[in-house]
Homo-oligomer: A and B are copies of this chain.
């Protein structure tokens, strides 16, 4: 086991934690970081540290971390920044192995704060403690069911998200959860006084349950090491990066936010490309791309087959070509074959395939997608989320008591299930775009997501998802 794995396991898989600065005042960090792990079911021991109380939120409370009986793997510190040197020293004396330092008021406020921060780093380093922060929103770890960040814990999954912004990172995770996607871990890196993004990347690249690493960064400390670590990590799993602070105003903001010096974006961007890091244009696109990279096979080329109804197919084709993907035209023979899978009124397909309003069943759509996947000049497929006019029609005709309805639902589910199996069968990725609003009683989207086929709101998002897969595949093959 490498040093970094040993050290960070104490933070992401602690057997016991102490919350220093614990409080029953709901407006304080000391309340949140104690209440959340208790409420969301952390299984290790939790101790509170507070000079005033005997118990806090039902947990025993001690005047100092040193008074706690038994070992403490990790301490969460929320005390005012001036007390942090003393508290950190207490942690060293107690033999604490890892710390999440929530407190703010350090380098991000100026030179004086930077001095205290350096002092804290010195105490921790000499005492063998690695720490997250300061000036972050904490961590969440599926491995330990440990939540000191989220009001509502994320769904466990396979994305490790390393974020320089606490609130913004939290919001991205909430958006992901809202779309049904889980996380392996989240860490708000804060000022990166001790542990930096490179350390977390190195750690999660060695965690088998992490399949994609996501980064929101404002500035990178020790750029050379960051790039070196990334270069190694992407051999095992993709790294998706959104880096802000790429403009003058953004740089100014990043400096006051997390004391980040953004540096030359052009040089950094070039280094990322060389290292195989996929950098997105917009912040939310990392999550979009991650979802496809989690479950879909990597394509062998950049040639995309598109199944869509009317405008959706046109927009998908445009979006693919704008990103440098290819949308090869079918020859006559292939077009005639694909046509046999289409509704009778559909035009001769040239790529995109226009299914002209609706398939009768999801299985019919799966047949078209399969016809495209069979082509040796198609590497990936975009299609519409199947809707089920058969189910819908029968429901309208005679309501849910319609004797043919159950049969129609079964047919729909079989078709969607078949669609989900195609990517594995043909080793070609598949993504879906909505063309109607998801209705709350529609069970079919859940089958797709469960089957690993990502669903997007717009054709442009689909094209970007394929682009992410293509970029990572090209990097792995080079």
B393:A310 contact, CB within 8 angstroms: no
- Residues in B neighbouring A284, C-beta threshold 8 A: 457-458, 460
A123 within 8 A of B: no
Tell me the complex Cα distance, A171–B310, Å: 12
Tell me the complex Cα distance, A299–B269, Å: 34
Residue of B nearest to A437 (CB): B174
- Residues in B neighbouring A341, C-beta threshold 8 A: none
A104:B320 contact, CB within 8 angstroms: no
Report the minimum CB–CB distance from A36 to chain B (whole Å).
Answer: 12
A165 within 8 A of B: yes
Given known contacts A175-B437, A317-B247, A393-B26, is B167 in contact with A352 (CB within 8 Å)? no
Given known contacts A26-B393, A248-B321, is B253 in contact with A352 (CB within 8 Å)? yes
B256:A457 contact, CB within 8 angstroms: no
Which residues on A are within 8 Å of B, measured CB to CB?
A: 26-27, 104-105, 108-109, 163-171, 174-175, 178, 216, 218, 244-250, 252-254, 256-258, 282-284, 306, 309-315, 317-322, 327, 329, 345, 347-348, 350-352, 354, 356-357, 389, 393, 396-397, 434-437, 457-460
Which of B248, B253, B459 is A283 in contact with, Cβ under 8 Å? B459
Report the minimum CB–CB distance from A110 to chain B (whole Å).
Answer: 9
Residue of B nearest to A171 (CB): B435
The 3 closest A-B pairs by CB, nearest first: A165-B311, A168-B311, A249-B327
- Residues in B neighbouring A27, C-beta threshold 8 A: 389, 393
Given known contacts A249-B327, A282-B458, A352-B249, is B437 in contact with A167 (CB within 8 Å)? no
A253:B321 contact, CB within 8 angstroms: no
Given known contacts A165-B314, A175-B437, A310-B166, is B250 in contact with A321 (CB within 8 Å)? yes
A171:B26 contact, CB within 8 angstroms: no
Tell me the complex Cα distance, A460–B284, Å: 9
Tell me the complex Cα distance, A318–B345, Å: 48
